[in-house]
Amino acid sequence: MIPKSLLKYLVLRLTFLFVTYIVALTIIFILLRLVPTNPVDRLITQLLQFNPNMTPEQIREYMKAYYELFGLDKPLWMQYLTYLFKAFTGDLGYSYINVGRKVSDIIMSALPWTLFLVVPATLAAWFVGNAIGAYAGYKRGSLFEKTVLTLSLVLSQTPYYWLAMLLLYAFAYRLNVFPPGQAYPPTMVPNLSLQFILAVLYHYILPFLSIFIAGLGGWAIGMRVLTIYELGSDHIQFAEALGAKESVLFKYMFRNSMIPQVTGLALSLGGAVGGALLTEIVFSYPGMGYILNRAIIQTDYPVVQGVFVILIATLFIANFVVDFVYALIDPRIRIGGEKI
């Protein structure tokens, strides 16, 4: 059975995320409506170039159909309400550029690639970074600690996409050991054959590494400080005075220091996704960043809007999952009492 305090905490978090999601959707809507673009005029111009003999009658009909397709024929407040409602159902309208193509289809072809890249790379960086940081903090003053600290400081400031460029240059163009970008060979059609999966993994290594390596440093730095704080705490010194083994001490310390890092994971996901978007551009990896980049250049605003709506929704779901895990591991919430 779920304890009452845990339930209350989760309901509160869910309400907060729901309200925030609506605020975020509103911001996206307002910002993108401030841009003076008229997709219909552009499309009509294109049509006229293609078929100069259109009668004014036909043009008017086309215009009407386009306005209806993009939902621009309704007043602004109704556009807003429809958009809000549809954002929850996953209907994100139609692309301005690829006429007739649903934004949700475009995004669904990209989102799995981004998740496939961000989730494992971020989690791996989190685990490894924390382990290294904890050990460095534990071995205070050693050469290991100093090396880890300096390296982590540099890594934590390394932009993902620059590391991506370096890796791409070194391993794909110089050494020719990895493919130069994209998610799979252009000659292949996505399927579930072993050959295709191997090709995907082969293309996956460099983008994965650039996110993994660039992510390590920040976690190691944070964990080192937390460990040092924890080592100075009463319960560790008490255990030490009792003569507890080093492995036991390390375990006590590690478990307590991890709690803030779980919340940190939730907070950093946004940054990780942002970094991954840029990395995708460097690798021409067919994820959300690639699509967003193209949509911004083409001023395809429904796609830009859709990318943000889906990314923020995904992040909020991830946040909620992390909150849930946090509640499970933190006894202050699991058993009751105030969250600090």
Residue ranges binding another protein (CB under 8 A): 16-17, 19-20, 23-24, 27-28, 31-32, 34-35, 140-141, 149-150, 153-154, 156-159, 161-163, 165-166, 168-169, 173-174, 180, 221, 225, 228-229, 232, 267, 269-271, 273-275, 277-278, 281-282, 289, 292-293, 296-297, 304, 308, 311-312, 315-316, 319
Measuring CA to CA, which residue among 94, 1, 16, 112 is closest to residue 339?
Answer: 16
Minimum CB–partner distance for residue 154 and another protein (Å) = 5
* Contact predicate 207/283, CB 8 Å: yes
Minimum CB–partner distance for residue 102 and another protein (Å) = 21
Going along 58-215, which residue ranges are E strands?
A: none
Minimum CB–partner distance for residue 85 and another protein (Å) = 21
- Nearer to another protein by Cβ, of 112 and 159: the residue is 159
Minimum CB–partner distance for residue 212 and another protein (Å) = 17
Crossing angle of the two packed helices 103-138 and 301-329, in degrees rounded to 10: 40
- Nearer to another protein by Cβ, of 110 and 315: the residue is 315
Q: What's the full length of the chain, in residues?
A: 340
- Nearer to another protein by Cβ, of 141 and 243: the residue is 141
* Contact predicate 223/137, CB 8 Å: yes
Distance CA 51, CA 18 (A): 48
Minimum CB–partner distance for residue 290 and another protein (Å) = 10
Q: Helix or strand or coil: residue 338?
A: coil
Minimum CB–partner distance for residue 162 and another protein (Å) = 3
- Nearer to another protein by Cβ, of 156 and 256: the residue is 156
- Nearer to another protein by Cβ, of 48 and 170: the residue is 170
Measuring CA to CA, which residue among 236, 161, 241 is closest to residue 206?
Answer: 161
Distance CA 136, CA 147 (A): 9
Minimum CB–partner distance for residue 307 and another protein (Å) = 9
Measuring CA to CA, which residue among 66, 84, 67, 90 is closest to residue 29?
Answer: 84
- Nearer to another protein by Cβ, of 117 and 269: the residue is 269
- Nearer to another protein by Cβ, of 117 and 168: the residue is 168
Distance CA 29, CA 309 (A): 10
* Contact predicate 280/117, CB 8 Å: yes
